[in-house]
Amino acid sequence: MIDALISSKTRIKLLLKFFLNSNATAYLRSLESEFGESSNGIRVELNRLENAGLLLSESEGNKKIFRANTGHPLFREIHNIILKHIGLDQVIENVIHRLGEVQRVYLVGDFSNGMDSQVIDLALVGNFDKSYLIALVEKAEKIVGRKIRYLLYSPEEAQLLDWKQFDPEPLLLWSDGVMK
C-alpha cells in the first residue's frame, strides 16, 4: 500500500524505523548494515527527512544519531499510516476488540525495533479465551497478509514481568480501549 505512494524503498524503511516506534534511534552505518544498502542512498534519504523536519539529529562523538521528530505536525499521521501499512490497525480491530478482558497490547520483536517483518509479534495482557483468540488471529492473518505471534500474560503475571528483558522495550499499542 505505502509503496504506491512512496517509490523509494529506502525511505519506506526509514519511516518504518523511526515512525513505528518513536523511541528508535540510529546512525548511518547501523542503518547501512540493518538495511543491507549503500550508505549513499541512505544518507540522501536521511537528509531529505531531516530537512523536512521529520527527523532530528544530534552528534555523539563521530556519529550523527537520528530519531523521529515527535513534535512535527505530521508525526501522528505518519505513525498511523505506518500502522496501517503493517496491518496493526486491522489486528486491533479484528482481534483485540473481540477478545473481552484485554488490558494492554504491546508490539514486540522486529517491528518494535522499526524493522519490517512478515511476523507481527504481540504481547497481550488480560484474561482471554485462548481457543477464540486462535480463531481471531487466523482471520486477522488472512486480512493483513502476515503471521501473528503472541505472548499472553495475565494481569498478575504482567505486574511481575521485567519488560526491559525485551530488546527493544515493547511499544504500547493499545490500552483498555485506547489505541496509542
81 falls within a domain: no
**Domain boundary residue among 75, 95, 120?**
75
- Judge if 102 and 70 occupy the same domain: no
Single pTM value for the model: 0.71
Q: What CATH number is associated with residue 171?
A: 3.30.460.10
Cell of 144: 493483513
Domain count, the chain: 2
Please state whether the peptide bond connecting residue 168 to the residue before it is cis, i.e. omega within 30 degrees of 0: yes
Cell of 52: 523536512
CA separation for the pair 103, 169 (Å, rounded): 18
Of 150 and 173, the one with more pLDDT: 150
- Judge if 117 and 95 occupy the same domain: yes
**95-126 tens-digit pLDDT:** 776 777 889 999 998 888 888 889 999 999 99
- Judge if 124 and 171 occupy the same domain: yes
Q: In what order do the strands lie in the sheet with 101-108?
A: 147-153, 119-127, 101-108, 171-175, 178-179
- Domain of 172 in residue numbering reads as 87-179
**Domain boundary residue among 24, 42, 75?**
75
**78-96 tens-digit pLDDT:** 988 888 888 877 777 777 7
Q: Residue 158: which of 145, 140, 170, 146 has the closest Cα?
A: 170
**Domain boundary residue among 51, 75, 99?**
75
- Judge if 94 and 175 occupy the same domain: yes
**164-176 tens-digit pLDDT:** 888 777 888 888 8
Residue 149 has pLDDT above 90, yes or no: yes
